[in-house]
Amino acid sequence: MPHPTRRDVLKAGLHSGFAGAAVAAGTGAAATPAPATPAEIEGPFYPVVAQKDRDFDLTRTEGREGAALGTPVWVAGRVLDTDGRPVADAAVDLWQANAAGRYRHPHDPNDAPLDPDFQGWAVVPSGDDGGFRFKTVVPGSYPAGPGWDRPPHLHFKVTKRGYVELTTQMYFPGHPLNDADRLLLRHPEDERPRMIARVLPVADGNDGDGGLTRLAFDLVLRRA
């Protein structure tokens, strides 16, 4: 059975499904003021290769039957403003390394293998409730300099007219490399939790999540 496209997701209302669970787990249904998500550098490996397949499911690539290597996870949340109100129709841009720690970028010097079944990049619109959702794999760590291995992380860029563009990184909860990451540690201690995803309860497999680990990560924008 072909994996669903972005159009399928929007028609099925999945923006409000898992993303709604993320809201219930911590963001709250009512508008609650929140500080903006801390910004982070874009990094050197923003995708430059022409790529038509940028839908929400990074574990499959168009025209191939295989699935990406690694541990699959769902990542979802909402795009909000600092007053806690949803930001609809924002462009949520995600890119990351594959399970071996290699980016799909011609200048990545890492000699880890590429994965032809891993999409590596996705762009989706936020829903009416600000919700977004991705299926991906946990990226591998990789060497970033002498004595420094970057922990698994996802890159996000969020754009919407009337708001300050946000570029940030999402870290995986409990990973031991988080405690020594030079980028994460340069943020004030009270900012770091807002850059680390929250784990949600595992679903029963009957709601489309397939019993996979589910992570919640909201993106809070400042108005321009």
Which phi and psi (to 5°) does residue 138 adopt?
-65, 120
Annotated catalytic residue: which of 103, 171, 194, 214?
103
Annotated catalytic residue: which of 78, 102, 105, 153?
153
Active site annotation includes 142: yes
Active site annotation includes 103: yes
Annotated catalytic residue: which of 142, 163, 194, 214?
142
Residues 121, 51 contacting (CB under 8 angstroms): yes
CA distance 127 to 78: 8
Annotated catalytic residue: which of 102, 104, 150, 214?
150
Q: In which region does residue 162 sit, left (phi positive, over 0), alpha (psi from -120 to 50) or beta (all else)?
A: left
Q: How far is CA 131 from CA 22, 65, 86, 113, 157, in A?
A: 9, 29, 8, 33, 15
CA distance 195 to 218: 9
Active site annotation includes 3: no
Active site annotation includes 150: yes
Annotated catalytic residue: which of 155, 163, 171, 194?
155
Active site annotation includes 155: yes
Burial of 144-157, coded b for 16+ CB within 10 Å and e otherwise, reads: eeeeeebbbbbbbb
Please give the positions annotated as active site: 103, 142, 150, 153, 155
